[in-house]
Structure 1
């Protein structure tokens, strides 16, 4: 549900939603975390190879959910977009506290101001994170700042749900208390908690549901992915669905990697649902009524 003047903010500039094309709605080209030592995604050449493989299958855009302080490398993203022709959407925001060793420095940040500034320069969404089956103080702090940044810019907010949990808590806070319209919220990792009744309630709210990480074979719920998508489509919620690869470690790149979405998952959806999930829905979910970019 994008407005007539809405655009998608990519690292190279604002783009009409209709030009976004086939989209991986949740992935990482660059990522570094104290929780994943030695598994950093930090190689521009490897990222370029991944993008070219994705583009060879018809991929036109990737939404990178790497938030502030986790090695998102916006300048490298811009160069990769120029070299490959793939549209790249970057994130601001903040992950769970465990990803940031210096908690004292983190608490000194004015998060709303930080998020809004990055949205004005290179970022096209705010990424935040819940806790397991609830929202801790850190999650509430970051989501409150994300809502302020949304109200200042219109930016979409994408949410990491730990093992797919606490999505209703997130909607109650972001949409109920903080006034963010549900269609500006993307709920991530729902494939990891395959409660079909819950999924239908979330979709009925108007939020977007991101099923990501289908290539992560360590998740015991991966085999439910297609059943979840089919059930939501049958219930009339096909226009709320997004898919992403969510590559988070160097070991996962190319194993099977970003192209897996288009090579193996897309053919099993059928042409109509595939068009919605990979093209029409991302164009709506990541569009916003942006003010002009800051120079």
Structure 2
């Protein structure tokens, strides 16, 4: 079976994905951000259109189960904008949910993930999980165990929220060492928030994809080190494992409001990468690497 990327409009060959925002959100809501939900369909369309106008052709929404992904809206947005959209299943940290909601799915997580990947009206193309700060708590281990089972059933990639960019190697030890997930099927997110070049290199040497995402987060103080992190990975031969995403999670972070949003990846970051690291590296990060990271031999 040939690899394919599972979009909300169906499976496509990897070479059709194009320029990709590898981690972002069109819709999301959390108990930790009351009143700051992304839930406006027309605002989501405007953001997609702005990204597409700069040559963007794909966005991966990492919003998991229970956080308002509004999967039913994604096919229409993809058609109207002409931008491929990949949706996610999975579960975030426990603090983002009502405890009763978590309890209702706790004993059937793997089955839930497989259903959303293979049988839901709008199929997901990614399982999203989350670590805790510098460790894996019991909730993370439970969710990651279910994600590994769903991966082995479907071959879906697993995207990981690393809290403040930490615990990358703990995640790989657990998913890959304990549960047999191939490292190349794991995407480690938020690594720029903990800009330790040694950890980045170790994760890359293990075989995982490394996602640097979130330049829309004005309260993070490490964005100025992003180019240094990318250059270090290029120098050690790991640039083909690097992804970039916007990770827009509040209305004010969108380009149509006060933030750089999705378009900044192409209007701000890509020109700098092309100038400082070269156009081939930019092409790898934005086009070639996502085509491999999100492809699966779906079962």
Counterpart CA distance in 1 for 2:271 and 2:40 is: 30
| Partner residue, 1:172 | 173
- Aligned mate of 1:275, from 279, 283, 286: 283
Counterpart CA distance in 1 for 2:216 and 2:94 is: 26
Choose 210-219 or 234-243, whichever is displaced more. Answer: 210-219
| Partner residue, 1:87 | 84
- Aligned mate of 2:295, from 283, 287, 291: 287
Counterpart CA distance in 2 for 1:182 and 1:104 is: 33
| Partner residue, 1:199 | 200
Secondary structure of the corresponding residue to residue 30 of structure 1:
coil
| Partner residue, 1:231 | 232
Secondary structure of the corresponding residue to residue 123 of structure 1:
coil
Counterpart CA distance in 2 for 1:43 and 1:231 is: 39
| Partner residue, 2:263 | 259
User: Within 5 A, what are the aligned runs for 1:1-40?
Assistant: 5-40=2-37
| Partner residue, 1:158 | 159
Counterpart CA distance in 2 for 1:84 and 1:205 is: 37
Secondary structure of the corresponding residue to residue 159 of structure 1:
strand
Q: State the Cα RMSD in Å.
A: 0.8
Secondary structure of the corresponding residue to residue 211 of structure 2:
strand
Pairwise CA distance, 1:108? 3.4
Secondary structure of the corresponding residue to residue 89 of structure 2:
strand
Pairwise CA distance, 1:215? 2.5
Secondary structure of the corresponding residue to residue 158 of structure 1:
strand
Q: Does 1:56 align with 2:76?
A: no
Counterpart CA distance in 1 for 2:205 and 2:48 is: 33
Moved over 4 A (4+): none
User: Within 5 A, what are the aligned runs for 1:129-140?
Assistant: 129-140=130-141
Secondary structure of the corresponding residue to residue 24 of structure 1:
strand
Q: Answer whether contact 1:214 1:225 (CA < 8 A) is retained.
A: no
Task: Render the CA deviation track for 1:138-160: whole Å, top value 9, x for unaligned.
Answer: 00000000000000000000000
TM-score (ref. length: structure 2) = 0.95
Secondary structure of the corresponding residue to residue 112 of structure 1:
helix
| Partner residue, 1:113 | 111
Secondary structure of the corresponding residue to residue 124 of structure 1:
coil
Q: Structure 2: 5+ residue runs without aligned partners?
A: none
| Partner residue, 1:77 | 74
Secondary structure of the corresponding residue to residue 216 of structure 1:
coil
User: Within 5 A, what are the aligned runs for 1:98-109?
Assistant: 98-101=95-98, 103-109=99-105
TM-score (ref. length: structure 1) = 0.96
